[in-house]
Structure 1
Amino acid sequence: MTESEGSPAVFARRFWLFARRVLRNFFRNHGILLAGGVGYNVLLSAVPLLAVLGVLLTRVVEEEQLLEVMAIQAQHFAPAHADLWLDAVRAFMESRNIIGIAAFPVLLFFSSFAFRMLEDSIAIIFHRPENPTRSFWFSAALPYLFILVLGIGLLVLTLLFAFVDTLYEEPGPILYLLSFFSVFIMFSAIYKVLPILHVSPRRAVVGGLVAAILWEAVRLVMMYYFLNISFVNVIYGSLATIIVLLVSLEVGSVILLLGAQVIAELERSDRAGLPWYLSPD
């Protein structure tokens, strides 16, 4: 007796073949190594990026509201030690008159590191000999376009948070959903814009949603582990905070790049005219 085409056993077998192919090509592309580079550059860029956006946006919204939104967003990317980022940003904003406007080009330059590394990593994930090339000037401007979009998104979130805060006595769940939605939008935008090859909006949105859900689940597990079980403080002592931040960011980067690898494999199958579970190799 043969299994029907749409039976769970057939789907499970096809899913397993596809998952093996994704993981094989992810490791072939040195995905873990790339994720480490992305995580390190995010750590390097986060404070300058938040500082620049904070100084600019406080001309439009109240500083405390903006810092509250930043704190909630930082919790999504550094579950155990988001407060360290916010302390650094708050310290910069308090001394912004001393530092002056001359520091802004330097801060913008450091803010772009994470986007440049992420663009290079996704280019490796999507690389094929027939890929088109991206102009130097477009690649140079792309990180700053992302910073601009992030700034607009942060402004919109701050205004939404303030609006929700006036409507509800306990706005926590709604604020959490808004924050999760912003992470989903960011992941989807990365999957749509950064690959050199064309990625359909539907596939970018699905990939962004899956990556955001997976990261949220992993984030909650990591938060519980680092706060209740971890021996990092015993092993690394005063370096524990940096280690936890780097591990959190690298895990998030692995999820982000793994989602890109999934989309890359689906696109390859589409271009070859094959079903999603069959490899063109």
Structure 2
Amino acid sequence: MKITIISTLGVVRFCRDLIRQFFDNQGILNASALTYTTLFAVVPLVTVSYSMLAAVPAFQGAGDAVQQWVLENFVPATGEVVYEYLSDFTAQARRLTVVGVVFLVVTSIMMMKNIEAALNRIWRVDQPRKGVSSFLLYWAVLSLGPLLVGIGFVVTSYIAALPVYTSATDFVGPARVINMLPVLFSTIAFMLLYTAVPNCSVPILKALAGGFFAAIMFELAKRGFAFFVTQFPSYELIYGAFAAFPMFLAWIFISWIIILMGAELSRALTIYQPASKSISRPHLLVILHLLRQLWLVQQQGQPLTATEILQRTPCLNQERWDQYMQLLMQANVIRRTTEGGYLLSRDLHGLSVHDLVSMLPWPIPEAETLKQAEAWEVLLNSRLQGLDDAKKELLQMELAQLFSHTEPVTDHP
């Protein structure tokens, strides 16, 4: 019973930290910005998808079928109306000149850059992809993405015609088998989004967990949104025939919140360390432990991942790590590698304890009563004790003596 309570408290604490991290990373603001960008980029993306599918003879005519299936399964209630308008817009867009096509591609790339920026912010990555790597990633999404969707659609149709599939639907039920496909495809799509887009190394299993969470939440939100649209149609009285577009915009906003929350979960599962009641050591001591771990592995020419830093540094949890990482990177003490690891960016022979303290927003801690400590901790504690004694001696002055002092004091350089 005690273990169950502890486990429940751990889950509650994890969910609380996850939500706090989502708001700290400005998740609502990012979802709003991505919704605004999506509104302008959805037609270019659909047009590019049509063009890529049309380039393969086997996929001739698959674009309409794929788009219809996506809107029926992933856009609740208003999918048919949105599909008609998107088809009209896309038909017009496909008759554009070369300049218009370039504009569509640029709009699509801007959309993906905004997505990358939002995910990089979640993973604490300051430098986005640049140059050839950025171009190759975006081109792969624009070219291979629609082709993979088309292949998945053709393979699904082929599997649906097999006798094995017919036997499975007879046993489980055709509706249940078909309803599992959007969850499966959504999980795979979100996993690829979480692993490929951020400019850092994301563990595949953690991305898969985040993708599965986003897919389940996506299905629940879709059912809830469809229930609201069908059972509370008062919005139609206000917007009339235009009612589908505000609902579509609201759904895009909800979708981005779910997608960003799945990315937050992927990162939390990667680096999360539960808060402990024993975390009472001063910030300076924890940061020194952190820097010592980086100093030790740097002598072997290796960086440390965030997970390894959290595991090796005493009294360090996710909240403290996020603070320390930002401070130390801004002070150019540590830096992040392209693979997502961390290493020292300066020689510690030229960095004193006083220099480090001046970089931190916290005061110098007092000396501790050490029971078990390493040699460097004992040396630092003796220096802190000497500093405490010096401060106590210098400030051992009665207030009456301080206030009765009338001679001017000259500041010496």
Change beyond 3 A, Cα 1:159–1:248: same
Q: Are the equivalent residues in 2 in contact too, given 1:40–1:249 (CA < 8 A)?
A: no
Give the Å deviation of 1:192.
Answer: 0.9
Aligned to 2:77, the other structure's residue is in SS state: coil
Q: Does 1:273 align with 2:273?
A: no
Opposite residue 154 of structure 1, the aligned amino acid is V
Query: Given the alignment, which residue of 102, 107, 111 partners 2:104?
Result: 107
In structure 2, distance between residues paired with 1:97 and 1:33: 33
In structure 2, distance between residues paired with 1:190 and 1:247: 22
For structure 2, list consecutive stretches of 5 or more residues without a partner in the other structure: 273-306, 321-413
Give the Å deviation of 1:241.
Answer: 2.0
Q: Are the equivalent residues in 2 in contact too, given 1:66–1:158 (CA < 8 A)?
A: no
Q: Are the equivalent residues in 1 in contact too, given 2:129–2:199 (CA < 8 A)?
A: no
Q: Are the equivalent residues in 1 in contact too, given 2:78–2:248 (CA < 8 A)?
A: yes
Give the Å deviation of 1:211.
Answer: 1.0
Query: Given the alignment, which residue of 174, 192, 198 partners 2:195?
Result: 192
Matched with 2:117 is: 120
Matched with 1:215 is: 218
Matched with 2:34 is: 38
Matched with 1:154 is: 149
**Bigger relative contact order, structure 1 or 2, given CA contacts below 8 A and separation 6+?**
1
How big is each residue's C-alpha offset from its partner over 1:87-116, in whole Å with a ceiling of 9 and x where there is no partner? Answer: 244335655774355532222222233322
Task: State the identity %.
Answer: 20
Matched with 1:241 is: 244
Give the Å deviation of 1:246.
Answer: 1.4
Query: Given the alignment, which residue of 31, 43, 48 partners 2:44?
Result: 48
Q: Between Structure 1 and Structure 2, whose CA radius of gyration is higher?
A: 2
Query: Given the alignment, which residue of 53, 63, 71 partners 2:68?
Result: 71
Q: Are the equivalent residues in 2 in contact too, given 1:122–1:195 (CA < 8 A)?
A: yes
Aligned to 2:311, the other structure's residue is in SS state: coil
In structure 2, distance between residues paired with 1:243 and 1:265: 33
Give the Å deviation of 1:44.
Answer: 2.0
In structure 2, distance between residues paired with 1:109 and 1:15: 43
- Which residues of 2 match residues 132-143 of structure 1 at below 5 A? 133-137=127-131, 138-143=133-138
Q: Are the equivalent residues in 2 in contact too, given 1:188–1:207 (CA < 8 A)?
A: yes
Aligned to 2:318, the other structure's residue is in SS state: coil
Q: Are the equivalent residues in 2 in contact too, given 1:52–1:108 (CA < 8 A)?
A: yes
Aligned length: 273
Give the Å deviation of 1:133.
Answer: 3.1
Q: Are the equivalent residues in 2 in contact too, given 1:81–1:241 (CA < 8 A)?
A: yes
Aligned to 1:272, the other structure's residue is in SS state: helix
Matched with 1:180 is: 183
Query: Given the alignment, which residue of 84, 87, 91 partners 2:84?
Result: 87
Aligned to 1:273, the other structure's residue is in SS state: helix
In structure 2, distance between residues paired with 1:190 and 1:34: 16
The RMSD of aligned alpha carbons is 2.9
Q: Which has the higher helix share?
A: 1
In structure 2, distance between residues paired with 1:78 and 1:132: 33
In structure 2, distance between residues paired with 1:69 and 1:47: 15
In structure 2, distance between residues paired with 1:83 and 1:105: 29
Give the Å deviation of 1:141.
Answer: 4.2
Matched with 2:279 is: none
Q: Are the equivalent residues in 2 in contact too, given 1:187–1:208 (CA < 8 A)?
A: yes
Matched with 1:263 is: 266
In structure 1, distance between residues paired with 2:119 and 2:221: 22
Change beyond 3 A, Cα 1:226–1:182: same
Q: Are the equivalent residues in 1 in contact too, given 2:191–2:210 (CA < 8 A)?
A: yes
Q: Are the equivalent residues in 2 in contact too, given 1:180–1:212 (CA < 8 A)?
A: yes
Change beyond 3 A, Cα 1:103–1:240: same
Matched with 1:16 is: 12
Q: Are the equivalent residues in 1 in contact too, given 2:206–2:267 (CA < 8 A)?
A: no
- Larger mean Cα displacement after TM superposition, 168-177 or 229-238: 168-177
Q: Are the equivalent residues in 2 in contact too, given 1:80–1:244 (CA < 8 A)?
A: no
